[in-house]
A = this chain, B = another copy of it.
Amino acid sequence: MAVYTDVSAAGLSEYLARYDIGTLVSFHGIAEGVENSNFLVQTTGGTFILTLYEKRVDPTDLPFFIGLMQHLAAGGISCPQPVAMRDGETLGVLAGRPCAMVTFLPGVSVRRPSAANCGQLGEAMAKLHLAGQGFAITRRNALSVSGWRPLFETAGARTDTVHPGLAATIAEELADLEAHWPADLPAGVIHADLFPDNAFFLDEALSGIIDFYFACNDLLAYDVAVCLNAWCFEADGAFNATKGRALLAGYQSVRPLETAEIEALPRLARGAALRFLLTRLVDWLNVPEGALVRPKDPLEYLKKLRFHRAVDSARDYGIAAAAGADA
């Protein structure tokens, strides 16, 4: 939760004049987004979200993020849609920060997704993968397999202060994934951070997907693996196969997975678990003394990683036996 940059009503009013969306009625900094400052802005023309991009966002990535939301919205995906200024621009500068105004999506995120929610999420993710095809800009996934070792080196000798033996587990896993990471699977634009707080539901239906600031080009099935981790484990650490089955069935109802993708799923899930284990580990070790915000527990992802290491095949995730598109 964060609002890093202070915006004045006078500054915002002046900025709004570049748009054709009416005049300022109210605005409130909202406690969402770890990387950027977000404001809920009401004008005489409607409700919008204004995002100010903070230091951790590379400004050269912004055309990818903004263009992607436009491309996906044009392809029928319910996601925040960048609002164009009178001169056609979608990126501006306010309070010294690059910024964009996007449409406001109704809906609420669910903390404990049901199996039905998982099915809806799977379906929406597959639609997103299809809609992403043809998007002209590309963005490398800096947090895929080649980015994990540098992260691990950042944590270094302090790793075992978080959990005894953690460094050895990560080293072993990393070596295996680096040697055997799948290469020839279908790739495209993935969300890469599609956690329950980035999906909105309204009246029992999925109403939208938000926060595309980790989106990139990578293996489509890796996105599925990220979601199996983020949506299908219970608070006690147990994998809920009913939710896994629902998520995969929802996905395959739109885009059937290829046999090679299904076979790779356990390894992709281990990689996805390692990715969040590593970023959480680094955040955990770098939390300032006395900080009010407690970082997310890296060990949650150690447990998930252990589960995937014990998995025999994608059947353990609840995938139907001969569901592959080419099976």
Contact = CB atoms under 8 A, between A and B. Distances in A.
Interface in A80-127: 104-112
Which 9 A-B pairs have CB atoms at the shortest separation, nearest pair first? A29-B31, A288-B290, A9-B108, A290-B290, A289-B290, A3-B31, A28-B30, A8-B111, A25-B106
A40 B105 CA distance: 14
A110 B29 CA distance: 15
A31 B38 CA distance: 10
Interface in A3-57: 3, 8-10, 12, 23-32, 40, 42
A273 B108 CA distance: 44
B28 A40 contact: yes
A292 interface: yes
Given A3-B1, A31-B31, A40-B40, A26 B290 contact: no
A183 interface: no
Interface residues of A, number: 38
Contacts of A23: 203
Identify the interface centre among A12, A108, A291: most chain B CB within 10 Å of its CB.
A108
**Number of identical protomers:** 2
A293 B3 CA distance: 11
Nearest to A9: B108
A301 to B, nearest CB: 20
Where chain A touches its partner, the secondary structure class is loop
Given A3-B1, A291-B290, A202 B28 contact: no
A286 to B, nearest CB: 11
Contacts of A292: 288, 291-293
Contacts of A24: 108
A289 B288 CA distance: 9
Nearest to A3: B31
A10 B111 contact: yes
A22 B31 CA distance: 24
14 contacts: A1-B3, A1-B31, A10-B111, A24-B108, A25-B108, A26-B104, A26-B108, A27-B108, A29-B32, A42-B106, A288-B292, A289-B289, A290-B290, A291-B291
A2 B202 CA distance: 26
A59 B291 CA distance: 27
